Structure 1
């Protein structure tokens, strides 16, 4: 019996588990190994899709299914099996074509299976693809295959606020639109966010909510932080996360998972 038996620790990936130096700090790896050795379950909840997370899944010890695509999927990397997959409304291609006509500055990434299609790529698109280490196919929206698992609208923050308002006005009840940083507005099926999918993961693993701990750095992490027995965030987190009330720990470059495991080690000693 380990001191962390029955506990689940869920971390955001970019700028939380994975740092600004494009690595998982050794302190995080050591802390996760200790967590698992003592009976804990560890996993990731990321905005990345399967295609853009799979090459990085081996960087840290993970012993529970992963929440992908900002809460649209759960994938078990140990069994190489998709456990849950949601899709955008079938009207998504027409909806987003109308959105981009209304706000011409926007760029769009659309995810169909393992393929990524882009309409009007911009500097944000290029930076995103470089960061996640993949490529895409540029197509007009009517030429993109569907259904889509998720979409990302890209531009400066003020333009994305307009895009979110447009979707709320013209497509009420169809989409979950949440920021993963100031340049990405993540679009999933209504109700599908990190919080909802982490809740499903708890059910799959038969773990009570009071045994859940989450850490994340941005607005899209708040739905899962709301479920956490103690919500944690790295010092580099967005102001919205600080204002929301997460417990602020060290910078992601310094191994924030280490801070969490040290605190829980004292709590469950």
Structure 2
């Protein structure tokens, strides 16, 4: 295909710029420096929290480039010590209260993580929070979540619900029947259920960031590997999918690159962006 001239790149993190060992594509830091010379922003977009993204942004020397956290529920500009909000979409507190109550009553074994701004709260630590902490290099604050909601008026950007796959699938079906006002659910893994506002998606994050830079969507490129990446892969001028992605995700993209273990992101940027300059 004749690929468009790219002026903005939005990339997923896990399974995309990170390999199976959660290590950054070793060729990417140098590639990003080449993008900087061409004044092409490279944006990280993930279900991760800011604390799970800022260290990667620093390792990649992205400077104050925006990051899209919680799949776009919170878009920040800056760094870990000095940042400002560009856009945010919080869950409605009544929805969160109802969801927590249902889980406590009917699915007490499910691990609940609540994210507000850069903060990560849990009502207990368990094997699931330990796994997530190891992946994101972040640590949660233990807090009675229901009491937290009563005593604080902080925006809730995401809930992450984790357990064995069969239980999460059952919980997913249960929650979809609740009378919620502004809540959407999606599985980022077969045992990870993400809960955000209906206004949140990587597609909308791409729109927000393209508007921020005043760059047409036709001149954007997105890279991803999972189901929550499909909307941004379809919307961008050039959607690049990783070789390690499920077939359904591959079907949504324009081009398939190498796998996350074979520097697929760097390869795609060199072939479809830098080689055209």
Q: Please state which band the TM-score falls in when normalised by the shorter chain.
A: 0.7 to 0.9
Aligned to 2:260: 252
Judge which range, 256-265 or 234-243, deviates more.
234-243
Q: 1:66 to 1:105 in 2, by over 3 A?
A: same
Q: 1:240 to 1:125 in 2, by over 3 A?
A: farther
Shift of 1:99: 3.2
Q: 1:96 to 1:238 in 2, by over 3 A?
A: farther
Q: 1:70 to 1:211 in 2, by over 3 A?
A: same
Q: Distance in 1 between matches of 2:139 and 2:38?
A: 39
> Structure 2 regions of 5+ residues with no counterpart?
none
Contact 1:173 1:190 in 2 (8 A): no
> Structure 1 regions of 5+ residues with no counterpart?
none
Could you tell me the TM-score, scaled by structure 1's length? 0.88
Shift of 1:5: 7.7
Q: Distance in 2 between matches of 1:107 and 1:266?
A: 43
Aligned to 2:147: 143
Deviations 1:9-32 (A, max 9, x none): 111112211222333222222222
1:154 aligns with 2:158: no
Shift of 1:35: 2.3
Aligned to 1:93: 97
Q: Distance in 1 between matches of 2:242 and 2:161?
A: 25
Aligned to 2:119: 115
Q: 1:59 to 1:157 in 2, by over 3 A?
A: same
Could you tell me the TM-score, scaled by structure 2's length? 0.85
2:137 to 133, 136, 139: 133
1:18 aligns with 2:18: yes
Shift of 1:201: 1.0
Root mean square deviation, CA, Å: 2.4
Aligned to 2:230: 222
Aligned to 2:83: 80
2:183 to 175, 181, 190: 175
Contact 1:93 1:141 in 2 (8 A): no
